[in-house]
Structure 1
Amino acid sequence: MKNIYFYPSDIGKLGVVQEEQAITRIYFQNENIPEDLIEFETDLIKEAGQQIQEYFAGKRKDFTIPLAPNGTPFMQSVWKALIEIPYGETRSYKDVAESIENPKAVRAVGMANNRNPLPIVIPCHRVIGANGKLVGYGGGLDIKILLLDLEKKHGNI
């Protein structure tokens, strides 16, 4: 059974999805929500929602909820590398490709970053272009800027 529950945030309503004993997806308010999800706030979803609220309040840098994003082994390796980018810092797609020991996979890293099912929790917003410019974000560049500014503001927590 897949459960979803919605929480308000600084970037609009977020839908947190649980399958079995892990969080598997976070939806932005502008995304299409599958109809097979049951709206029910489980204890784990509630904990995820609380941790996301703490993040937006500048009181949390890391998430401690169990995650189970669905993706290929390559995607999984990219998402693991994203989690290792420190709060308040950024990396280029090339940096991420090198960190997973696949330096020629810059475009593939970009695609995996784009398919990240757990934005914010798996911080794909911390990945920028090699020239230092902000490039695409599933929730929109305005949200990416907001998240990066939030982390810059609260970097000393």
Structure 2
Amino acid sequence: MGGKYTWLITLATAIGSIASALAMHGKASLEALAGVPVLLQAWASGLPLGIWSFLLSLALSTLVWSTAIVKLPASRDGRQPHFSADTLALILALLVTVTQQWFAGHGQGQLLSALWIGLIAGLLAPYLGRAARALFAQKPAAPLPPPRAEP
């Protein structure tokens, strides 16, 4: 079972996890999942653009991640720059939401909400970027060269 069917294993695992959560907790798990957008909306209500501030932060950080993962060079031992791209996306998402809140001029509690929203967007951006790359990639990436031998 090579790389050709790994997407199927991932999908089956995700569906199995959701099914087991529903089987164990039933209605309570559905109510908890339905509460996530409401919680996000409540946190974003203090931002200048509301939920659009979150979406703006998410979109910008996903675009930066998508560009950084391609443009950043591989390390000396041939490893891809995933950590650097993830960190850039997280920092940008935090910057976008906190800057919006800073210019809106609200109190400390609103700044904390902006931090939470930026953190969620920054951590979600690489996941969405990887999902988009997995769905829309034209061809698989070329294998990395073997690491250089140390003299």
Q: Which has the higher contact order (CA 8 A, sep 6+)?
A: 2
TM-based fold match above 0.5: no
Structure with greater strand share of residues: 1
Task: State the TM-score, normalized to the length of structure 2.
Answer: 0.31
| Rg (Cα) greater in structure | 2
